[in-house]
Structure 1
Amino acid sequence: MTAVPAADPIVLEFADNRLLIDLCGAYDAHLAAIEKALDVQIIRRGNQLSILGDTDSKQRAEGVLNTLYARLESGRTVAPAEVESLLRMGSPMAGTRPQTGGQLEMPVGDTFEIQTRKKRVEPRTDAQKAYVKSLFDDELTFGIGPAGTGKTYLAVAVGINMFIGGHVDKIILSRPAVEAGEKLGYLPGDMKDKVDPYMQPLYDALNDFLPGKQLAKLIEEKRIEIAPLAFMRGRTLSNAFVVLDEAQNATSMQMKMFLTRLGKGSRMVITGDRTQIDLPRGVPSGLADAERLLNKIPKISFNYFTSKDVVRHPLVAAIIEAYEADNPAS
Structure 2
Amino acid sequence: MTTTRHPLLATARALADGLLAPHAARVDQEGVPVGHLDAIRSSGLLGVSAPREYGGADAPDAVAREVQEILAGACCSTWFVQTQHHTPVRMLAQSAAPVRERLLGPLSTGESLAGIAYAHVRAFPRVPVRATSERGGWRFDGRVPWYTGWGLNDVMLVAGVSEADEVVFAFTGAHEQPGLRASEPMRLAALTAARTVSLELDGLWLPGDAVVLRTPQEKFALLDRPRSTNASPAVFGVAYAALQVLEDAGESGTASALRERLDEVRGQVYDLAGHPVPYEHVPERLALKTRSYDLMRAATTAAVVAGGGRAMGLDATAQRLFREGMFLLVQGQTNDVRRAHLDALAQF
Q: TM-score of the superposition, structure 1-length normalised?
A: 0.25
TM-score, normalised on structure 2?
Answer: 0.24
Q: Which has the larger radius of gyration?
A: 1
